[in-house]
Amino acid sequence: MTSLRILWAVIVREMRRFLQQRSRFFGALVRPLIWLLVFAAGFRAALGIAITPPYDTYITYDVYIVPGLVGMVQLFNGMQNSLSMVYDREMGSMRVLLTCPQPLPFLLFSRLFAGMCVSLLQVYAFLLIARLSGIDLPWQGFVSVLPALVLTGLLLGAAGMVLSSQVRQIENFAGVMNFVVFPLFFLSSALYPLWKMQEASEWVYQLCRFNPFTDAVEMIRFALYGQWQQDAIVHSLLATAVCLLLALWGYRPRQRA
């Protein structure tokens, strides 16, 4: 029972933190919406993109880009969380959490889970606005995508945790964003189908293929249409496990000099 109460408390704290920071909520929505309504409009490809699964017929570019932007929302949320963990550590509120009787892995997982819940709020707000602004998304996809979002939220959150365990000061974070977030996002199937990448360059294509963010995006893409992409799920599960282990290792108790 205590565990559940702690988990609940952490979730509530993260939710409150998120909802009270209006500008963060706003920012989390504006970023993907700009990509969707400005960038995708520029590349609209009104003549259609060739069919690749899970799509049954030709689609416009704005439809293609939605799952990638969902991934982007969760990626940024994961990074934001790790940033706030560094902040919590600097401000000392991390120490309060660590005084709980529960083991450290549980506390870290609670924090991760809470961050994932926050990302769900952001994703659904984004999907709703996208749908209402006329992007052709199936309503039933809003339900079928949930399990995929939970997994990708945990994966990207855990990746953020690994980073936060290694970054000692908030000031270093900008560099991390440049070297982690942008390559992850651009070297993936978020913005362009992989066959398009392969046409351009084989090694870029290979990088994209082995980018776990590609698996996360493809899992979301298929789940939005009620389908499961088995390879993407397996790869995402593996990547999540690896990140969790690395985060645990990074946050292991040790003497500070």
Give the x/- contact pattern for other proteins in 229-248, rule: CB under 8 A. xxx-----------------
Buried b (16+ CB within 10 A) or exposed e, 61-93: bbbbbbbbbbbbbbbbbbbbbbbbbbebbeeee
Smallest distance from other proteins to CB 51, Å: 6
Whole-angstrom Cα distance, residue 88 to residue 161? Answer: 13
Question: Which tokens is 117 given?
Answer: 């819940």
> Which residues inside 7-46 make contact with other proteins, applying CB under 8 A?
44, 46
Which residues in 105-144 contact other proteins (CB under 8 A)?
138, 140, 144
Binding mask 47-86 for other proteins (x = CB under 8 A): xx-xx-xx-xxxxx--------------------------
Query: Six-digit token pair at 256?
Result: 């500070």
Residue 11 one-letter amino acid: I
Report phi then psi at 214, rounded to 5: -60, -45
Decide: is 193 part of the binding site for other proteins (CB under 8 A). no
Which residue, 72 or 232, has its beta carbon nearer to other proteins? 232
Of 12 and 50, CB closest to other proteins: 50
- Please tell me what DSSP assigns to residue 46: T
Under DSSP, is residue 210 helix (H, G, I), strand (E, B) or coil? coil
# residues near other proteins by CB under 8 A: 24
Spatial CA neighbour of 205 closest among 219, 217, 194, 192: 194
161 close to 243: Cβ distance less than 8 angstroms: yes
CB of 3 to other proteins, least distance (A): 32
Q: CB-wise, 14 or 215, nearer to other proteins?
A: 215
The answer to the question of residue 96 lying near other proteins (CB under 8 A) is no
Quote the least distance from Cβ 234 to other proteins, whole Å. Answer: 9
Closest approach, Cβ 199 to other proteins, in A, equals 17
Two structure tokens written together for 141: 């996809």
CA angle 164, 204, 75 (to 5 degrees): 30
Binding residues (CB under 8 A) for other proteins: these are: 44, 46-48, 50-51, 53-54, 56-60, 138, 140, 144, 222, 225-231
